[in-house]
Amino acid sequence: MNGTTEKTIFNQRIESTWTLQREDSTTAHPSPRFGHTAVVYEESMIIFGGRNMRCTNDVWILHVPTMCWTRPDIPSQQPCSRAGHTAIVEDGMMYVFGGVKDGSQPQPWLDDLHKLDLKAMTWEVVAATTDRKPQPRKGHTAVSHNGRMIIFGGGQEDNLMFSDMWSFDYAQKVWQEITLTGPCLPCPRMYHVAVMANSPTMVVFGGRAANPCAFLNDLYLINLETNEVELLKTTGPQPAQRMCSTAIFSNHTLAVFTGGAYSYLSDSYQIDLRKRQWEPLKMPLGGRTRPTTVKRGDTMITFGGCVCENGYVAETLKMTMHPLTLRELCVTKLVETSEVVKSLETQCGLPEHLHSMLTLEMYRY
């Protein structure tokens, strides 16, 4: 299925063409799932784990230019099947931490760390050099910054959630808890989203808190060098409270897609962190929770998730982004500064042809 949607996203495109690829029995394709992870490496998106009726531990590779899936043959012992884990790429390695497995004995939550060599396609258990490490958890987030993996939040049961932050030094193989500072710190939460913004800033949005079941739509900036936290005061139509969303950061802009609270949410939003103003996005994703979304160059890929119509899906949505033309960039800037332009027109006067052009373009937008 193909389509075209007109909009601006990430301050860098006004038109997006999208292609929807569904599971096809005639070609290799991952099974329907949610709670998996997806990372970008070279020309590919790599997914791991997730669940539908049961957890899985398979690895699938989507070659983005051709949109072809392959399942690599991995001879080494793989991590146990899991969902609700995190995965990040650092120096050609995919690091997988935590999550939840099937069953309840002795406990389903995990605190193990594995890495997959993305060239050799071999797994290895990463053993820390000290005993101190995060509690087992699911629904946490992870980013990579300055030679460290940073995890935040997550939980176990609905009434046991965390607001702690830990770093793992790839070279030293040491976990260290990070003490956050600031007048307003994030409450314990799980199934939020967190991404790296402009270094050294990590952005945290939404999720689910305990007592008894509170969904969130707060937005924090965390400086990973000073450990200072800022609760953002934003304007514009704010996203409803939600968990299990997916998010991308690009060109000063955070985009948050879908999610769920008391129902499946199909709406999406973006916020330019310089302006701190939310605005809605029209995206062809439909209501779903716990998909994954990655961005490689001018291509954005969303895979899987749980939808209300037919449960777990194996849909792959590819969106190709086109940069704004010089004319569109100029018009966008004029619209942003329309009050200034009107003031100049009143005070100084403008040539008739420029006055006509500005008036036409401002009313078009």
Q: Are residues 284 and 364 in the same domain?
A: no
Q: Are residues 228 and 288 in the same domain?
A: yes
315 vs 278: CA distance, rounded Å: 28
DSSP annotation of 33: -
Q: Are residues 189 and 213 in the same domain?
A: yes
- The structural domain count of the chain equals 2
Q: Are residues 225 and 363 in the same domain?
A: no
Task: Please tell me whether residue 118 adopts helix, strand or coil conformation.
Answer: coil
Contacts of 105 (CB under 8 A, 6+ apart): none
Phi-psi region of 99 (alpha: psi -120 to 50; beta: other; left: phi over 0): left
Q: Of 274, 151, 156, whose CA–CA distance to 204 is shortest?
A: 151
Q: Are residues 86 and 233 in the same domain?
A: yes
359 vs 7: CA distance, rounded Å: 21
The domain that contains 283 carries what CATH number?
2.120.10.80
State the CB neighbour count (10 A cutoff) for residue 104: 7
Its domain, for residue 365, covers 326-365
The pTM is what? Answer: 0.86
pLDDT value, residue 152: 98
Q: Are residues 264 and 357 in the same domain?
A: no
Residue 307, strand partner residues: 288, 311
Q: Are residues 263 and 341 in the same domain?
A: no
Residues of the chain with pLDDT under 70: 1-19, 23-26, 105, 309-310, 322-365
Task: Please tell me whether residue 235 adopts helix, strand or coil conformation.
Answer: strand
236 vs 138: CA distance, rounded Å: 32
Q: Are residues 297 and 233 in the same domain?
A: yes
Q: Are residues 132 and 189 in the same domain?
A: yes
pLDDT value, residue 298: 83
pLDDT value, residue 328: 56
Q: Tokens for 117? A: 């060599």
Q: Are residues 220 and 96 in the same domain?
A: yes
From the number of C-beta atoms within 10 Å of its C-beta (0-12, 13-18, 19+), residue 190 rates as buried
Q: Of 75, 113, 72, 70, whose CA–CA distance to 94 is shortest?
A: 113
Q: Tokens for 297? A: 């160059």
Q: Are residues 319 and 331 in the same domain?
A: no
Q: Are residues 272 and 339 in the same domain?
A: no
81 vs 359: CA distance, rounded Å: 60
